[in-house]
């Protein structure tokens, strides 16, 4: 019975050692958010999440980044407005930042889906 416990603990320890975790020396979450604010478009009002991504692919014609911070912001951007600020659709914008240097990688807006527009198509 003790041998089963020892084996289980050994396997659990090995799994923790092999679990992909970010290397040391990168930006902290707070630093990534601070850098993200300098690259987000005017209209951002809050951070919805900031997470480390391994082998991040932007979806653009850019090389994959082995370690990146992706910071997402909520807000209202006027390219989605119809007739003034009260007609703006809330949306998000993500900003990808190099995990080690804090250099900007890419940004993109995520647009809301309108059921009435989808039904018309």
Query: Which tokens in the block code for residue 5?
Result: 């416990």
Does 107 reside within a domain? yes
Classify 57 as helix, strand or coil.
coil
Report the candidate in 79, 70, 52 with the shortest Cα–Cα distance to residue 106: 70
In this predicted structure, what is the pLDDT of residue 116? 47
In this predicted structure, what is the pLDDT of residue 119? 45
In this predicted structure, what is the pLDDT of residue 52? 93
- Tell me how far apart the alpha carbons of residues 71 and 32 are, in angstroms, rounded to a whole number: 7
pTM (2 d.p.): 0.68
Range of 33's domain? 26-120
Does 74 reside within a domain? yes
Q: What is the mean pLDDT of each run of 10 residues along the chain (121 residues)?
A: 66 53 84 94 88 87 87 76 60 90 87 49 38
Query: In residues, how long is the chain?
Result: 121
In this predicted structure, what is the pLDDT of residue 109? 78
Number of domains in the chain: 1
Does 111 reside within a domain? yes
In this predicted structure, what is the pLDDT of residue 98? 93
């Amino acid at each position: 019975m003790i041998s089963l416990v020892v084996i289980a603990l050994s396997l659990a320890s090995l799994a923790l050692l092999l679990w992909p975790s970010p290397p040391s020396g990168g930006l902290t979450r707070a630093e990534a958010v601070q850098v993200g604010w300098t690259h987000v478009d005017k209209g951002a009002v809050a951070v919805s999440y900031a997470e480390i991504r391994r082998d991040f692919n932007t979806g653009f014609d850019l090389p994959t980044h082995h370690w990146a911070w992706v910071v997402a912001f909520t807000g209202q951007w006027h390219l989605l407005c119809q007739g003034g600020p009260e007609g703006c659709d809330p949306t998000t914008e993500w900003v990808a930042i190099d995990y080690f240097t804090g250099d900007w990688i890419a940004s993109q807006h995520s647009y809301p889906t309108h059921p009435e527009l989808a039904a018309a198509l």
